[in-house]
Amino acid sequence: MPRSILYVGDIREEIKLGNLENIPLRKAVEGRAELWVPDVERIYDAPVFYNPKMSLNRDLSIVALKVLSNRWDKKLFVYEPLGGIGVRAIRTLMEIPENVSHYLSNDINSLAISLGRKNAKTNAVNPEFTNQDARWQMAELRKHPLGFPSVIDLDPFGAPTPFLDAVSYGFSRESAVFVTATDMAPLCGVYPETCYVKYHGFSARVFSCHEFAVRILLQFIALTAARRGYGIHPILSFSTDHYVRAKVVLRKGKTWAKKATAKIGFAIVCPRCGETQVEELVDNNDVDEHLCPVSREKEALEKIGPIWLGDFFDHEFVKDMQGSVQSFDVGLDQKPRVAKLLKRIASEANMPIGFYRMDRLGKGKTGNLPPMTEIIEKLRVHGFKASLTHFHPQGIKTNASPDEVMSIVL
């Protein structure tokens, strides 16, 4: 067994803190927090990891935690197994102290723990820091004096899949898990075999790949949770910058697990026009049986999955997040961007899986395409569902076929 046994006495006394004396540091500000961070040209060259580009990710987590706390009518115990220098923990305790009772931030790098404690002291907050292998620690979470965490926030560099089985040991009846994946090359079809090895789903290089990356991640979370007797209910999932993110509420019981796994299946996608057909897992037909109604070429079709076929967010939860964003007079590092992203995601409620890229559909056509918002209105006037999508600036979600779209907008 590892030397440091969780929650025996004061865990802070067991941590062998790393020496920060020879690490160049600089001051940075994120949200309400003033931070000491490594002073390096490339974040990957630092002895401890801090990525300022993930501040939007942290903003959205803080807002989601606030909404969950209000919905569950309780303060949350939040656990971050790969906490780095504690930025997420510190910001959460500073920006929503009324919603969080305890924050446990772990990292295997003792230098990160040292810098995390330094930053916590600078900002006058007191998260619990631990220095352990995350997979070992997650299997021992039941020994924590406060019991199981309300929310587990898994934010690794690369794929989260090596940690998700261990994370599932921390699931409880009223809990949630937030998961980040940054390995976009496998998830977006550059390395489909690697995607299958990691996520048990095949990806493809189609222009809607970022949506399918989200859905591949969700199906893997769903299957992991089902093995522990839990179903999942996605409250917010999205793709932005260099990563995808899924936030799900867990529902205990075999019935919930079966309902969740019933929402797993495949997508048959034409990479030329984006036409997407879905089939449930039990159908699993050979892709050669499908024919794209636009390109009429079987060889162009891509079979993606298994993927999550259900909603990738909860519309009411996202609306609550939109309202909550406005309550932050201070804090939130990228408030305007958070509000814009949530507005775009909310508009995608009840839309079909997949989307069309108007720049692709319009390629080679005579006449100029109207603005995106005008295209949406024209489709709605003709009785079709239609919305923009956060997955691509030229993307449109609609139940109209590609031919119907082009006949209406041109």
Q: Give a yes or no: residue 185 inside a domain.
A: yes
Long-range contacts, 12-16 (Cβ 8 Å, 24+): 12/128, 12/129, 15/110, 15/113, 15/129, 15/130, 15/131, 16/110, 16/131
The pLDDT value given to residue 200:
96
The pLDDT value given to residue 43:
83
Query: Does residue 132 have a pLDDT over 60?
Result: yes
290 with 370, same domain: the answer is: no
> Any idea what the CATH number is for the domain that residue 390 is in?
3.30.56.70
- Bridge partners (DSSP) of residue 30 are 33
Sign of CA pseudo-dihedral 105, 109, 110, 115: negative
| DSSP summary character for residue 257 | H
304 with 395, same domain: the answer is: no
Query: pLDDT band at residue 12, thresholds of 50, 70 and 90?
Result: very low
Per-residue pLDDT of 254-303, as tens digits, reads: 999 999 999 999 999 988 888 898 988 766 566 555 567 666 655 578 99
Question: If DSSP codes are grouped into helix, strand and coil, which group holds residue 268?
Answer: strand
97 with 211, same domain: the answer is: yes
Contact predicate 244/237, CB 8 Å: yes
Sign of CA pseudo-dihedral 355, 357, 358, 364: negative
Per-residue pLDDT of 194-248, as tens digits, reads: 999 999 999 999 999 999 999 999 999 999 999 999 999 999 999 999 999 999 9
The two tokens of residue 366 are 């005579």
**What domain range includes position 409?**
356-410
The two tokens of residue 147 are 């019991």
> Any idea what the CATH number is for the domain that residue 196 is in?
3.40.50.150
The pLDDT value given to residue 103:
98
Q: Give a yes or no: residue 265 inside a domain.
A: yes
404 with 278, same domain: the answer is: no
Three-point CA angle 232, 235, 241, nearest 5°: 115
Q: What is the largest CA-CA distance in the chain?
A: 74
281 with 139, same domain: the answer is: yes
CA distance 391 to 47: 33
Core vs surface per residue 256-276: b (16+ CB within 10 A) or e: bbebbbebbbbbbbbbbbbbb
403 with 275, same domain: the answer is: no
- Rama region for 52: left / alpha / beta (φ>0; ψ in -120 to 50; rest): alpha
